[in-house]
Structures are given as structure tokens and as C-alpha cells.
């Protein structure tokens, strides 16, 4: 299937590795030009080199996406933003009794407010051109909160509520702009290894019998960014190998 997005420009946050890279790689495979970002300049350069091998233009902006100055440089690096993929590292686990205001502020900044700011900066221009796609990488915890990850549960749920309202604004939805969320369950990434003392745990509780692959996550992202997905907006797509037990 031709997704109809070749030649467009995408800004993909935190895309030097993991799910962010999976999304960037899938978009590059569809002929989408990229602005990629990561905190480690060396890792970002390696990722950008791989993506250029797809035959697309790739601009690198190193730094933490939660920094307003980094976001400004990312926005300036693209001639336009047709596709925005919001992503940022999740906060650490812990007991909510130990978290103070600074912990909550950091989580909200990384996993809600940064994405809100980039949405604010891009969607009206998308609407003026009659095409735009916003995909936010959130978490399966939005549907089924995870014990010990209260900072992530709270901040990502806040972003989900915000997107639900903005996606349904007629001045966006009627002008070809969609906003959706991808909710990853357990994927084979650095984060799941960090949460498991550096090793990949057994995929217990996942009916698929394995962890997800970043490439298949990226493929779902690319579809939501496609011409064919223009009637999908304000939705939360769960990718968890069947782990969530509910009907809805």
C-alpha cells in the first residue's frame, strides 16, 4: 500500500533509538523527510546516517526535547511540519509517597507539556495547508495504570485528555488534521531493560508470547500518518500483544 506521504516532512522527537527510531525509520521508508532528535549527539548521528540510507533528507537536532530552545531548533530545521511524532523518555518508577513537586513537574514537562507545546506550534499551519498528522507516543498505562509508574500514569493520562479535546476541534478535523495516540505495551527497548536491571525479562502475561518490535510499532505510526488514515482522529491505539484484558 502506498501511504501517500512521500515528500512530506516529519518532526520525530526522541528518535535516535527505540520506538522513536522505529517511527522515524518507518516514515523514511515511505519517503518522508525527517527532523530527528536525541540527547546523545553521537547516537543521533548514527541514527541519522541509517535513515539517510533510505534516500530521504534528514536534519539532526541534538538535545533534550523538553528544552524549549531545542524545540525551537527542531521547528526551524524543517521547511514545514506535515507530521509531528511526540515522544520523550518516561519518568522513573517509585512510590508516590516519595515524590515531591519537582518530581511531578518533571514528569508533566516531559510527558505532557512538551507535546502540548509542539502541538500548539504546528497544528494551525497544518490546517492552513489542508493536511497534518500528530501522533503521540504515550503508554499502555493510559488504559491500565501500572503499579509503581504513577508519574508516567498521571502525566500521560493528562496528555491523552488534552488530545481528545483538540482532535475534535472542527477547525482542525475538517481541514485534514488528525491527532492520535499510540499506546505501547512492552517492547524490546532500552527502557524495559532498564526497568528490569539491564536484562530482557520473560514476556509473561502477553498472549502473543513475545515483546513488541520497534519496527512494527513504527509501521502503525506510519499508517496513522498516511492519507488513508484521514478519518481516524482522537483515538488511542493500543499495541500490547493482547495483554490488556478488557473489551473496550
248 residues of the chain, pLDDT tens digit each: 999 999 999 999 999 999 999 999 999 999 999 999 999 999 999 999 999 999 999 999 999 999 999 999 999 999 999 999 999 988 888 999 999 999 999 999 999 999 999 999 999 999 999 999 999 999 999 999 988 899 999 999 999 999 999 999 999 999 999 999 999 999 998 777 776 777 778 899 999 999 999 999 999 999 999 999 999 999 999 999 999 999 88
pTM score, two decimals? Answer: 0.95
User: Which CATH number covers residue 99?
Assistant: 3.40.50.720
Which pLDDT value is given to residue 191?
A: 72
Measured distance CA(202)–CA(146) in Å, rounded = 17
Cell triple for 8:
512530506
Asked whether residue 36 is assigned to any structural domain, the reply reads yes
Asked whether residue 82 is assigned to any structural domain, the reply reads yes
Asked whether residue 194 is assigned to any structural domain, the reply reads yes
The closest of 148, 211, 219, 145 to 182, measured between CA atoms, is: 219
Asked whether residue 4 is assigned to any structural domain, the reply reads no
Asked whether residue 28 is assigned to any structural domain, the reply reads yes
Which pLDDT value is given to residue 193?
A: 77
Asked whether residue 244 is assigned to any structural domain, the reply reads no
Asked whether residue 226 is assigned to any structural domain, the reply reads yes
For residue 47, the enclosing domain spans 9-239
Cβ-count burial of 122 within 10 angstroms (0-12 exposed, 13-18 middle, 19+ buried)?
A: buried
**CB atoms < 10 A from the CB of 235, how many?**
15
**CB atoms < 10 A from the CB of 7, how many?**
12
**CB atoms < 10 A from the CB of 231, how many?**
7
Query: What's the number of domains the chain is made of?
Result: 1
Asked whether residue 193 is assigned to any structural domain, the reply reads yes
Is the separation of the CB atoms in 86 and 114 below 8 Å? yes
Site of grid cell 519496527 = 215
Which pLDDT value is given to residue 4?
A: 98
Which pLDDT value is given to residue 195?
A: 66
Which pLDDT value is given to residue 64?
A: 96
Cell triple for 227:
492519507
Q: Name residues whose C-beta falls within 8 Å of residue 199's C-beta, 6 or more positions apart in sequence.
A: 193
Which pLDDT value is given to residue 198?
A: 72
Amino acid at each position: 500500500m502506498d501511504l501517500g506521504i512521500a515528500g512530506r516532512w516529519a518532526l520525530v522527537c526522541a528518535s535516535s533509538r527505540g520506538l522513536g527510531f522505529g517511527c522515524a525509520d518507518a516514515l523514511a521508508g515511505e519517503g518522508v523527510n525527517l527532523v530527528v532528535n536525541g540527547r546523545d549527539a553521537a547516537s543521533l548521528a548514527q541514527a541519522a546516517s541509517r535513515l539517510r540510507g533510505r534516500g530521504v533528507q534528514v536534519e539532526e537536532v541534538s538535545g533534550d526535547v523538553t528544552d524549549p530552545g531545542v524545540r525551537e531548533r527542531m521547528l526551524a530545521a524543517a521547511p514545514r511540519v506535515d507530521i509531528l511524532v511526540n515522544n520523550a523518555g518516561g519518568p522513573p518508577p517509585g512510590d508516590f509517597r516519595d515524590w515531591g513537586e519537582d518530581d511531578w513537574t518533571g514528569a508533566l514537562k516531559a510527558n505532557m507539556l512538551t507535546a502540548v507545546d509542539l502541538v500548539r506550534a504546528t497544528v494551525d499551519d497544518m490546517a492552513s495547508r489542508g493536511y497534518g498528522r500528530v501522533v503521540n507516543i504515550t503508554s499502555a498505562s493510559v488504559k491500565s495504570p501500572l503499579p509503581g509508574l504513577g508519574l508516567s500514569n498521571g502525566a500521560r493520562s493528562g496528555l491523552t485528555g488534552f488530545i481528545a479535546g483538540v482532535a475534535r476541534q472542527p477547525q482542525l478535523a475538517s481541514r485534514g488534521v488528525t491527532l492520535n495516540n499510540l499506546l505501547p505495551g512492552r517492547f524490546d527497548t532500552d527502557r524495559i531493560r532498564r526497568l528490569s536491571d539491564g536484562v530482557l525479562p520473560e514476556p509473561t502475561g502477553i498472549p502473543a508470547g513475545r515483546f513488541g518490535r520497534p519496527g512494527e510499532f513504527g509501521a502503525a505510526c506510519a499508517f496513522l500518518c498516511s492519507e488513508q488514515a484521514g478519518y481516524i482522529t482522537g483515538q488511542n491505539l493500543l499495541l500490547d500483544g493482547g495483554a490488556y484484558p478488557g473489551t473496550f
